[in-house]
Structure formats: C-alpha cells, structure tokens
Amino acid sequence: MASAALASGCSAPDADSHTHPASGGQPARGGPADPAARAQRQAAEHARLVAAAKRWGLDQVPLTPPPPPAVKPRITARPGFEVDHQEDWNLPPVFTTIPTRQKIVFLTIDDGSEKDPRFLQMMRDLKIPYTAFLSDYLVKDDYGYFRKAQSYGNTLNNHTLHHPYLPGLTYEQQQDEICGMQDVMQRQFGKRPEVFRPPYGNYNQDTLMVAKSCGIKYAPIWNEEVYVDHWEYREDDQKMRPGDIVLTHFRGTDDWDGTMVDDMRRFLNKVTSDGYAVARLEDYL
C-alpha cells in the first residue's frame, strides 16, 4: 500500500518547473524540473508519511487521492431525498455520495464540541483533508481552534446556530438558524459557505428554500458514520462505495470510549485497507 501511495502522488509534473537561462532551455540541474531532484523529494515525502503513519499508530500509510477532476460531476438529489419543486426551483440537492468511479471517500466532521489539538496535528501530518460542519453554540467558545483547522487547508461549512430539528421549526425560525450561521461564518472565518448540512440529516422543503436564499448550493448528508468502536452504514449491504461521504463528529472521551485520534485511526485503517483514499469534498462540487 505504501508504494501505491507514493506512485499516485507523483503522476503530475511539478507546478513550479522552470528552466535556467544559461542551460539552453533545459531544466537547471537540481532545479524543480530535474527528475533526480523530483524523485529525491518524493522519496523524502514518502519517508515522512511512513514515519507519520507509524507515529499515529496506523496500520499502513494512507493512500493519496487522485487530482481533482477537471470537470466537476453533476450533483443531484439522491432518489427519494428530493422535496417538492426540487428541480424546477433549483433547490440545493441532498446527497450521500459523489458520482465517481474512483476509489475515494470524503471525510466530514460535525458540530464542534471537542477541540482536540492532537487531532489537528494528526490530520496535518498525514495530509488528510476533511470538511467540518459547525454549529455556533458548540464552537463559539474557541473559534481559534477552527481557524487553525482552516489555515491547514480544511473547509468550514454551515451546520446551523443551535443544531435543532429543522422540520419542527417555522420558515422564519429555520431562516434564523441557517442564515444566522452564515453571518457567523462570514464574521469568524471570512466566508459565507455554499455547503450546508441539516442537523441529524433532517430537512423539509422550507429548509432547502431557506438555505438557497442565504447562498447555499449543496446539502450533503452521509452514507456511512464512523465512531471510535464501530461503523454504521446507510446501505443494506453494509459496504463502502466510491464517492461515499463519511460522517464523524468532534467528540472525545466525554462522549466516546476514546479520542478523536482513536476515531481517525479506525477510519483511516478501514478505508486504506479497503483500497480507498480520502479526497476533498469541495474539489468535486
């Protein structure tokens, strides 16, 4: 598996390749385009990932995802998950899987209760992308933790202000929850997201109308959920599929028999052993 990870990460030329003016148009020796230098960098990065995998207790080095698609897949609502006027009103689609044949999955993490610095370091060391869906009542005591996650290249999205059961609210109450969180995201993290996850995966037509009104284009939920001690599957055959969205939570020993690091170790060991890489959700939207 380690060799596969290395190979999949070196198919494209370096973005900063250049030639030396005195070399007659040939790459400068030892420069970014030099094959020997490139191979040396790749070997060094692979050795770093091997060491990181060992340090964090993984069975194998996580696989490297393919480059993002040049043409994004068309995202539609999962059959049976549509609401009235889904298409003619162009409402944000609710979906559980990205259309792809590649063996990739997408890691999403909800709410923001636990703020484990070791988790941030683990995911940075291993270069694992994830998308966080934040609820303000749980993150407002430490916005800085999530700013740090954002600075590491991870995406922060909307999960409402207070994590209510949205179908039980009026249109105006849902507007306060969803659009109010958009305001928080802009103020605290510099951007109004285009991606929103309804709490508990529950929604109605008002939810998607409100979400669209405040700038939301997509409403992904999930096809699997990982915990420290078990997995849960939406599909009856209890199998992972290419493009599946996986859910976990910002939780620790107050709620689980383990930490977020333990949770991620279980997740990464499972997807890697099944031959999957973890890709960035937003690269496919």
Neighbours of 70 (CB within 10 A): 5
CA 144 to chain centre: 19
Tell me what the mean pLDDT of segment 119-139 comes to.
Answer: 98
Question: Each residue of 2-58: pLDDT tens digit?
Answer: 333 333 333 333 333 333 333 334 444 445 568 888 899 999 999 999 999 999 999
CA distances (Å), 207 to each of 154, 160, 219, 275, in order? Answer: 26, 11, 10, 36
Sketch the domain layout of the chain as residue ranges: 2-52, 68-284
What does the pLDDT read at residue 34? Answer: 87
Task: Give the global pTM.
Answer: 0.87
Residue 221's nearest CA partner among 168, 177, 174, 281 is 281
Contact 161, 111 (CB under 8 A): no
What does the pLDDT read at residue 8? Answer: 32
| Phi (first) and psi of residue 251, to 5 degrees | -135, 160
CATH H-level superfamily of 68-284: Glycoside hydrolase/deacetylase (3.20.20.370)
